[in-house]
């Protein structure tokens, strides 16, 4: 069993792989966190709570109840009852009071995992893969019940958390904060690792020791954001890629979030994750429920690398869905950097003809095909074909591309509206805006109010008309700006602060309809690049555009940071033209291919205009990608270099689950004079087996030698050079 209840100690033990999580019902039915870490044989560890020492429990020392409340490691802490640390739940009840006091009421344990209504979440493929614990907490005075939901995966060091709040009283209750998970650590000797950045430099790894007080990352942009990803790891100071303890947390949500660690006066650390409480309210009428999104928790006692590989395995098997979950993705060419808005059907067919001859499998038509869209200042929301560009219509173009043996893909930005559009002129109130205030434009566009079903239905009707009239097999769903002046013409004043969350629910609703009605379509999410690279999006799309920065050298950091939590097979990555359109850097075509091969792989260039040598290299790149993609999709990923600490080089490997083969890649970012060849140690091989590198089958080395002594990378002349090695077990 994954979950055990000890009646004597009133404690719960959740076992997930080689980890365990323990919580207990204590004095006056409060719920306390006991332990989270390496799996232990003990079912009862409640001695760790030290309830037999000062301040004792209220039954013994009620005069110091406040001290007890401010010391107990609460499993789901509430506001305004004596615990002055950060809280998970706050309300305004019928009296106007902000106090909330949750106590244990009941629990149940069952096989499998529930699916939250209207929200993305991890899932099981069969009930025996996980067990779930539901603990019902109650605040009788406020008329609230909160169900804490825990699922422990049988074979992975992964536990998920969420909470469902129900109004069981007779009066309305206003929720002002509902987080999804809290974990207590009886130490402050921890580092905090986050993924931060901006447009074109997303998810850079930052690490620092936690300190007294509060430290957090968050988003208030209406999306998970370029700036802060909804991932955090806490780890020991000594933890590195291959050793030490780490606890990873990832929020399955695509809107405003907070991820916070607080160190209190006793040097204890409280970690919290959930929907950002800033500008959040939710009104619960009697009988109504509010479901908080899921938090995924992963524990590793073998370093950050093992933490990452657990996330990868969990998401590849239990989050990503659909036809393409376990398949190689089509090798595509996107026309954006090739043409921008300046294209015609004839120009696209010429690109497709050349691409098809080289072995590329799909043409994707990006922004500019609809309305009167000749620049980015108009027509968002007018999802009908611009026949001035596409003479004969979309179907005629798609049929020509299909006749070449290629699939066809299409770019949409369904959440946006241009003030200069037919849709805005007909329905100006459909844009998110505050009445009486000027619209804050970004990229000369606004955001549609997806809290309104009629808006979603209208937009989806236009998309459906396009998809039903042409053979579209791929959609790139973009979102190029954040939310401002957040208010809805359809919500009453007291519910305006619900719009942040209602908007995200509306996005999920539309994506769910799209993937249900068109299960054969490959959906790739994008948000100005990587502003919504989060597990909420992965539930609907098996891949996400990693960054608008396609420069191979910049991608070393972007893709390494992304791999801290997300599988490489989900990273949208393309070979683009040089000088690169973002950085102006020129990188060898071979290196661009090797870096893009870490992800989904494709091309973002005009194949009819690139140098002949680069064009000639494409068939070989494609064959190389096809040969090794199974390792990227299904193997274990090992970060060998650390480009954040040593920007001169990077290296990584993908090792088959049975350790029968491994793909090793090396990139020299900066060349240095008078330097010997490099010796780089492999990871993840079978130490007792022998391997040969495919290009030198007569040279056999043990896995132990390759990992302890390393492989030799000969001196490479020039910056931005790469090498690929394929090791095969004898």
Average pLDDT estimate for 560-564: 98
- State the residue for tokens 């060349």: 671
What's the pLDDT tens digit per position in 194-237? 999 999 999 999 999 999 999 999 999 999 999 999 999 999 99
Could you give the CA distance from residue 634 to residue 651 in angstroms, rounded to a whole number?
A: 19
Q: Please, which residues bridge with residue 692 across strands? A: 700, 728
pLDDT at residue number 43: 86
pLDDT at residue number 91: 97
DSSP letter at 264 equals: -
Closest among 218, 276, 203 to 545, alpha carbons compared: 203
Q: Are strands 201-209 and 295-300 parallel, antiparallel or unpaired?
A: unpaired
pLDDT at residue number 1: 67
**% of the chain at pLDDT higher than 70:** 100
Average pLDDT estimate for 39-46: 93
Average pLDDT estimate for 62-76: 95
pLDDT at residue number 53: 93
What's the pLDDT tens digit per position in 80-96? 999 999 999 999 998 99
pLDDT at residue number 676: 85
Cβ(440)–Cβ(471) below 8 Å: no
pLDDT at residue number 675: 83
Query: 93, 313, 382, 548: which one is catalytic?
Result: 548
pLDDT at residue number 235: 98
Average pLDDT estimate for 53-74: 94
Average pLDDT estimate for 31-56: 95
Average pLDDT estimate for 233-249: 98
Could you give the CA distance from residue 228 to residue 248 in angstroms, rounded to a whole number?
A: 15
* CB neighbourhood size of 186 (10 A): 15
User: What residues does each domain of the chain span?
Assistant: 3-318, 332-576+594-608, 649-729
Query: 449, 478, 551, 636: which one is catalytic?
Result: 478
Its sign, for the CA torsion 397, 398, 402, 407, is positive
Please tell me the pTM assigned to this model. Answer: 0.97
What's the pLDDT tens digit per position in 148-193? 999 999 999 999 999 999 999 999 999 999 999 999 999 999 999 9
Cβ(31)–Cβ(135) below 8 Å: yes
Could you give the CA distance from residue 310 to residue 719 in angstroms, rounded to a whole number?
A: 34
Could you give the CA distance from residue 131 to residue 136 in angstroms, rounded to a whole number?
A: 17
* 478 in catalytic set: yes
Q: What CATH superfamily is the domain 332-576+594-608?
A: Aldolase class I (3.20.20.70)
CATH architecture of the domain 3-318 equals: Distorted Sandwich (2.70)
What's the pLDDT tens digit per position in 254-266? 999 999 999 999 9
pLDDT at residue number 674: 84
Q: What is the dihedral of CA 608, 614, 619, 621, to 10 degrees?
A: -130
* 188 in catalytic set: no
Q: What mean pLDDT, rounded, does the chain reach?
A: 97
Q: What CATH superfamily is the domain 649-729?
A: Golgi alpha-mannosidase II (2.60.40.1180)
- Alpha-helical segments (H) within 404-525: 422-426, 453-468, 499-517
């Amino acid at each position: 069993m994954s979950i055990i209840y000890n009646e004597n100690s009133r404690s719960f033990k959740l076992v997930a792989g080689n980890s365990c999580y323990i919580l207990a019902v204590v004095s006056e039915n409060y719920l306390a966190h006991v332990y989270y870490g390496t799996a232990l044989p003990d079912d009862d560890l409640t001695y760790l709570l030290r309830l037999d020492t000062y301040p004792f429990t209220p039954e013994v020392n009620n005069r110091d109840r406040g001290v007890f409340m401010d010391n107990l490691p609460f499993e789901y802490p509430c506001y305004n009852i004596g615990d002055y640390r950060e809280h998970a739940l706050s309300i305004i009840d019928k009296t106007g009071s902000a106090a909330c006091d949750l106590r244990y009421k009941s629990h149940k344990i069952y096989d499998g995992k529930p699916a939250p209504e209207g929200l993305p979440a991890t899932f099981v493929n069969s009930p025996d893969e996980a067990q779930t614990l539901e603990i019902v907490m109650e605040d009788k005075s406020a008329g609230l019940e909160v169900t804490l939901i825990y699922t422990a995966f049988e074979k992975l060091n992964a536990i998920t958390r969420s909470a469902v709040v129900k109004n069981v009283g007779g009066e309305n209750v206003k929720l002002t904060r509902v987080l999804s998970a809290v974990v207590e650590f009886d130490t402050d000797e921890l580092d905090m690792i986050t993924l931060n950045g901006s447009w074109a430099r997303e998810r850079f790894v930052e690490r620092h020791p936690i300190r007294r007080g509060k430290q957090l990352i968050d988003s208030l942009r209406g999306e998970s954001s370029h700036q802060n990803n909804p991932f955090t790891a806490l780890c020991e100071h000594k933890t590195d890629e291959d050793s030490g303890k780490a606890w990873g947390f990832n929020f399955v949500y695509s809107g405003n979030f907070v991820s916070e660690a607080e160190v209190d006066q006793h040097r204890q650390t409280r970690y919290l994750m959930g929907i950002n409480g800033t500008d959040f309210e939710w009104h619960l009428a009697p009988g109504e429920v509010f479901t908080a999104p899921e938090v995924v928790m992963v524990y590793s006692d073998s370093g950050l690398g093992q933490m990452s590989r657990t996330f990868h395995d969990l998401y590849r098997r239990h989050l990503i869905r659909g036809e393409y979950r376990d398949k190689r993705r089509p090798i595509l060419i996107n026309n954006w950097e090739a043409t921008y808005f300046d294209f015609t059907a004839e120009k696209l067919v010429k690109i497709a003809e050349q691409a098809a001859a080289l072995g590329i499998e799909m043409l994707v038509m990006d922004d500019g095909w609809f309305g009167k869209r000749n620049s980015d200042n108009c027509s968002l929301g007018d999802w009908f074909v611009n026949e001035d560009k596409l003479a004969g219509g979309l179907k005629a173009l798609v049929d020509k591309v299909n006749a070449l043996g290629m699939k066809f893909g299409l770019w949409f930005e369904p959440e946006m509206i241009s003030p200069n559009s037919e849709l805005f002129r007909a329905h100006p109130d459909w844009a998110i805006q505050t009445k009486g205030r000027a619209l804050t434009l970004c990229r000369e566009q606004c955001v549609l109010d997806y809290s309104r079903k009629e808006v979603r239905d209208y937009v989806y009707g236009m998309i459906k008309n396009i998809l039903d009239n042409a053979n579209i097999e791929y959609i790139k769903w973009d979102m190029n700006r954040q939310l401002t002046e957040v208010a809805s013409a359809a919500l009453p004043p007291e519910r305006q602060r619900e719009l942040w969350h209602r908007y995200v629910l509306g996005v999920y609703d539309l994506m769910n309809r799209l993937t249900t009605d068109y299960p054969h379509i490959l959906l790739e999410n994008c948000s100005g690049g990587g502003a919504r690279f989060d597990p909420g999006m992965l539930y609907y799309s098996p891949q996400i555009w990693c960054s608008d920065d396609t420069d191979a050298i910049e991608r070393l950091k972007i893709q390494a940071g992304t791999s801290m939590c997300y599988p490489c097979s989900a990273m949208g990555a393309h070979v683009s033209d040089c000088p690169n359109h973002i950085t102006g850097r020129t990188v060898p075509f071979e290196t661009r291919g090797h870096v893009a091969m870490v992800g989904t792989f494709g091309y973002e260039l005009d194949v009819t205009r690139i140098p002949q040598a680069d064009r000639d290299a494409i068939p070989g790149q494609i064959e190389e990608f096809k040969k090794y993609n199974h390792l990227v999709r299904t193997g274990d990923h090992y970060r060998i270099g650390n480009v954040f600490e040593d920007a001169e080089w990077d290296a990584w490997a993908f090792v088959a689950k049975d350790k029968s083969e491994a793909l090793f890649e090396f990139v020299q970012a900066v060349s240095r004079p008078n330097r010997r060849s490099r010796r780089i140690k492999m990871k993840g091989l079978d130490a007792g087996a022998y391997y040969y590198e495919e290009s030198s089958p007569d040279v056999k080395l043990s896995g132990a030698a390759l990992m302890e002594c390393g492989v030799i990378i000969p001196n490479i002349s020039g910056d931005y050079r790469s090498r690929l090695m394929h090791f095969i077990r004898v």
